[in-house]
């Protein structure tokens, strides 16, 4: 059995402790401590782990492990599983290639076949998103497939009359754009996760589109972003629809956006993950690539734009990527796994940290209202609220060190409700402090981009409008 308990001897403490969470142990530091111990053991073997998508996209990561039979081999098994999980949720795929000790390969196979968190990753990423159960293939590194994927040039099209929308777990946003100029934007509260009827979702989205269209002479194109995973405008996996029964999902939700396109006369219509649009919004504003966008809202959404300012075939679902490797790390309510980004960079982090800060909130209060309460306290100068935001800033700093291990990042843009107000400045200051303390060279090479308060909450809908090309 793969267990985080095996990593206990390697839980390196960070130089900057989160004010309200001193037990936090960043994955990037634990991995380095383990690598140093393996190198000094005299029993190190090279390991390669790769993820393959049906379309040919492949990403491979190399690490080290202890040889079979070593007393600390279980720690390397846990490390390999965390690396594989990051590949599954940051890249996505249905086939895991492994070159390593036989016991490590067997531990991974058993994890995905028998353990609840492994079965969740298999079911959602491999089976649901990519169409077949996860296959763990043991092979020498030289036999791994070669990456055949190409990046996408979606986005940046602002000609004509367009609608952009963004669907989150607590609100939906829409914007009307004419030749790049925003003429209308609006945010409407909703709670899609509790609604089982697909028609309710269809009607809500259609309402926002119509309200935006009322400010345009005509509609040339519609672009949208939404929490979840979307391939060719098809819903593959999305927490927005978690209450919809499987048969209704297949019958109505999977093709929901194609149905919406037909309702609008077949105009160019593109929907992608909200994290990708976050990154696109950042790249458009900054005029730069190598940019990681992070939206801290009801969940953590992320997206990446390459140096060439293109999107990739990766799914970038960083909400499920582990950034904390302590065995008692907070549990994600959906996957049941520990230490995943959603518990640190979203409204869920706010809800978790309020009691630690000594801020009393009725447990029945929904997360968006808890965030509003925190924002009100921050605006009033409450030191307890500042500690909540400072803690999230520390989380963000260590998360960025982790993400830089997986992405070529020079520019960072953080958006979303958690970043709204004075607390957002505290978060960015905390992230900068971590980078300066742990990696001054990374700090100097990283540019944080800030946008207006309005764009922090509506920038994704505007960028989404630019997704489809006309003609």
pLDDT in tens, 238-281: 889 999 999 999 999 999 999 999 999 999 999 998 888 888 88
pLDDT at 450 over 80: no
The Cα-based distances of 165 to 4, 154, 300 in angstroms read 40, 16, 18
pTM as predicted: 0.88
**Residue 154 covered by a domain:** no
With CA atoms as reference, report the closest residue to 134 among 152, 150, 151, 120.
Answer: 120
Classify residue 470 by burial, with Cβ atoms within 10 Å: 0-12, 13-18, 19+. exposed
With CA atoms as reference, report the closest residue to 54 among 3, 93, 23.
Answer: 93
Which pLDDT belongs to residue 89?
97
Residue pLDDT, tens place only, 324-357: 999 999 999 889 999 999 999 999 999 999 999 9
**Residue 318 covered by a domain:** yes
| Domain shared by 293 and 359, yes or no | yes
| Domain shared by 301 and 377, yes or no | yes
H helices of 125-273, in order, are 130, 198-213, 246-248, 256-263
| Domain shared by 315 and 202, yes or no | no
Which pLDDT belongs to residue 245?
96
**Residue 470 covered by a domain:** no
Backbone angles phi, psi at 231, to 5 degrees: -130, 120
Which range has the worst mean pLDDT, 73-82, 95-104, 227-236?
Answer: 227-236
Query: Cα–Cα distance between 314 and 258 in angstroms, integer?
Result: 22
Contacting residues for 354 by C-beta, under 8 A, at least 6 apart: 361, 370, 373, 374, 388
pLDDT at 437 over 70: yes
Edge-first strand listing for the sheet containing 135-138: 58-66, 44-52, 95-99, 135-138
Per-residue pLDDT band at 453 (split at 50, 70, 90) = low
Contacting residues for 27 by C-beta, under 8 A, at least 6 apart: 82, 322, 323, 324, 325, 339, 402
Residue-wise burial string across 115-137, b where 16 or more C-beta atoms lie within 10 A, e elsewhere: bebbbbbbebbbbebbeeebebe
Which pLDDT belongs to residue 458?
63
Residue pLDDT, tens place only, 125-175: 999 999 899 999 999 999 999 988 777 777 888 899 999 999 988 889 999
**Assigned token pair, 94:** 């249905």
**Residue 468 covered by a domain:** no
Q: Are 397 and 405 a contacting pair, CB within 8 Å?
A: no
Count of domains for the chain: 3
Mean pLDDT, the chain, integer: 93
Which CATH number is 224's domain given? 3.30.420.40
With CA atoms as reference, report the closest residue to 130 among 205, 58, 187.
Answer: 58
**Residue 307 covered by a domain:** yes
Full residue range of the structural domain in which residue 236 is found: 161-276
| Domain shared by 305 and 407, yes or no | yes
pLDDT at 296 over 80: yes
**Residue 156 covered by a domain:** no
Contacting residues for 452 by C-beta, under 8 A, at least 6 apart: none
What is the H or E stretch that residue 371 is in?
Answer: helix 367-379
| Domain shared by 267 and 385, yes or no | no
| Domain shared by 309 and 458, yes or no | yes
Q: Are 338 and 327 a contacting pair, CB within 8 Å?
A: yes
Assign 197 to helix, strand or coil: coil
Which range has the worst mean pLDDT, 48-57, 101-110, 219-228, 447-456?
Answer: 447-456
| Domain shared by 204 and 261, yes or no | yes
| Domain shared by 78 and 213, yes or no | no
Query: Cα–Cα distance between 308 and 328 in angstroms, integer?
Result: 40
């Amino acid at each position: 059995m793969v267990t985080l308990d095996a990593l206990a001897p390697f839980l390196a403490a960070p130089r900057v402790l989160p004010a309200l969470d001193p037990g936090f142990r960043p994955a990037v530091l634990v991995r380095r401590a383990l690598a140093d111990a393996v190198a000094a053991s005299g029993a190190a073997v090279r390991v390669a782990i790769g993820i393959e998508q049906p379309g040919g996209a492949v990403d491979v990561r190399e690490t080290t492990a202890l040889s079979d039979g070593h007393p600390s081999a279980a720690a390397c098994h846990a490390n390999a599983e965390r690396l594989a999980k990051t590949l599954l949720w940051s890249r996505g795929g249905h086939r895991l290639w492994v070159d390593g000790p036989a016991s490590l390969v067997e531990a991974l196979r058993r994890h995905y076949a028998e353990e609840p968190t492994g079965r969740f990753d298999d079911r959602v990423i491999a089976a649901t998103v990519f169409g077949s159960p996860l296959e763990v293939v043991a092979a020498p590194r030289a036999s791994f497939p070669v990456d055949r994927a190409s990046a996408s040039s979606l986005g940046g099209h602002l000609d004509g009359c367009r609608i952009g929308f963004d669907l989150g777990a607590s609100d939906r946003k829409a914007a009307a754009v004419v030749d790049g100029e925003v003429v209308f934007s609006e945010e409407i509260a909703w709670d899609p996760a509790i609604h089982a009827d697909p028609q309710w979702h269809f009607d809500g989205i259609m309402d926002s589109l119509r309200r935006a269209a009322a400010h345009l002479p005509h509609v040339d194109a519609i672009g949208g972003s939404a929490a979840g995973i979307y391939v060719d405008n098809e819903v593959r996996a999305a927490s927005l629809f978690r209450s919809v029964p499987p048969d209704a999902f297949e019958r109505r939700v999977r093709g929901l956006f194609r149905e919406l396109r037909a309702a609008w006369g077949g105009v160019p219509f593109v929907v992608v993950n909200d994290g990708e649009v976050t990154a696109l919004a950042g790249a458009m504003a900054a005029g730069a690539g190598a940019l990681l966008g992070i939206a801290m809202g009801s969940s953590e959404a992320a997206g990446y734009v390459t140096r060439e300012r293109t999107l990739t075939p990766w799914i970038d679902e960083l909400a499920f990527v582990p950034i904390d490797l302590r065995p008692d790390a907070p549990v994600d309510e959906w996957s049941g796994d520990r230490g995943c980004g959603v518990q640190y960079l979203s409204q869920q982090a706010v809800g978790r940290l309020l009691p630690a800060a000594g801020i009393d909130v009725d447990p029945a209060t929904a997360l968006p209202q808890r965030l509003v309460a925190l924002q009100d306290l921050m605006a009033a100068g409450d030191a307890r609220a500042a500690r909540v935001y400072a803690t999230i800033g520390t989380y963000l700093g260590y998360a960025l060190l982790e993400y830089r291990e997986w992405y070529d990042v020079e520019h960072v843009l953080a958006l979303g409700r958690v970043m709204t107000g004075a607390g957002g400045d505290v978060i960015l200051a905390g992230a900068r402090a971590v980078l300066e303390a742990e990696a001054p060279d990374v700090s100097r090479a990283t540019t944080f981009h800030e946008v207006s308060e309005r764009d922090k909450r509506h920038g994704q809908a505007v960028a989404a409008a630019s997704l489809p090309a006309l003609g």
